[in-house]
Structure 1
Amino acid sequence: MTTTTTSTPTRPSAAAELIADFVSTGGRLTDRADLARFLRDHRLVTEGAIPITLADLDEAITLRDGIRAFLDASDTPDPEVLGRAQKVLDGLRVTVRLEPTEQAESPLAPAVVDEVRRGLARIAGAWAAVLATGEWCRMRR
């Protein structure tokens, strides 16, 4: 009789690392420059000028707060926080990659032109990958 053991990966996926970094921004995501820096540091947008509106910043914070609330195992998430974050996700257009690249954190790719929304769509794709693999369970705080 052969016994197979299943091991839990010790290193989080690139998608999980992105989500963990995103939800832990806390006070470091307070203005448009912070959002631009986060998107650039995580290579979610191209280099160069990124026109970020206050509405873009609000969407990013809303999405971050919703994911954070979902991952917070110590509390029941506020349905309004989750609802607002879901509206942000609903407004992001993504498409499925026919042939994912090694650099891709998810088989989902942004289907929008605006740089900021492309960055948020990449975060949405990473979130989808974390949900699909069940890795979010190990990320609960």
Structure 2
Amino acid sequence: MTGGVPWCHSHMTTPDTKKSAAAALIHAFVTTGDDLADRADLARFLRGQRLVTEGAIPITLADFDEAVTLRDGLRAQLRLAAGESADAEAVARAQRVLDGLRVTVRLAPSEAALSPLAPAVVDEVRRGMARVAGAWAAVLATGEWREIEPV
């Protein structure tokens, strides 16, 4: 190769500040605030983010509680990472939610996939939450989670 170092071009370009789809999903989820006040709000979020199929989604109170617990824990983790004070117990509760979500690794994820992790459950709400978990795994793997603004 003549005329320079092969990696120079990529380091000389303007940094792209656009979030990945996974980071955008995590940001949207942790910033729901009062927009995630009941089961109907959760259904709207899941549909709006294309985490579930269209149609009726039966969401139990337990599903809703898990979603709020996960959101609050992710938010707390982002705050802790930013050097802010946050509820460590919220992080522990969210970890228990993540521990209960089943995901699998896709050998060949589609271009549109948020992560190589995919839901391994049939329940629509849990599939949606498993997709959030996959997005969190993706932003952890890339380090992009450090750039998501805590709420």
Letter of the aligned partner of 1:59 in structure 2? E
**What is residue 48 of structure 1 aligned with on the other side?**
55
Structure 1: runs of 5+ lacking an equivalent: none
Count of residue pairs brought into register by the alignment: 141
Alpha-carbon deviations, 1:23-46, whole Å to 9, x = none?
Answer: 000000010000000000111001
Q: Please state whether the residue corresponding to 2:118 is helix, strand or coil.
A: strand
Q: 1:17 aligns with which of 10, 21, 24?
A: 24
* Counterparts of 1:14 and 1:43, CA distance in 2: 12
Residue 37 of structure 1 corresponds to 44
Aligned CA RMSD, in angstroms, stands at 1.4
Aligned mates of 1:89, 1:9 — CA distance in 2: 30
Alpha-carbon distance between aligned partners in 2 of 1:24 and 1:131, rounded to the nearest angstrom: 18
Alignment partner of 2:102 out of 93, 97, 122: 93
Q: TM-score, normalised by structure 2?
A: 0.88
Task: Between 8-17 and 123-132, report the one with greater CA deviation.
Answer: 8-17
Q: CA deviation at 1:75?
A: 1.7
Q: Does 1:81 align with 2:87?
A: no
Deviation readout 1:37-95 (Å, 9 max, x if unpaired): 00001110011110000000000000000001111225233221110000000000000
Larger Rg: 2
Percent identity between matched residues is: 68
TM-score calculated relative to the size of structure 1:
0.94
Q: Which runs of 5+ in 2 are unaligned?
A: none
Detail structure 1 runs of 4+ shifted over 3 Å in the superposition: none
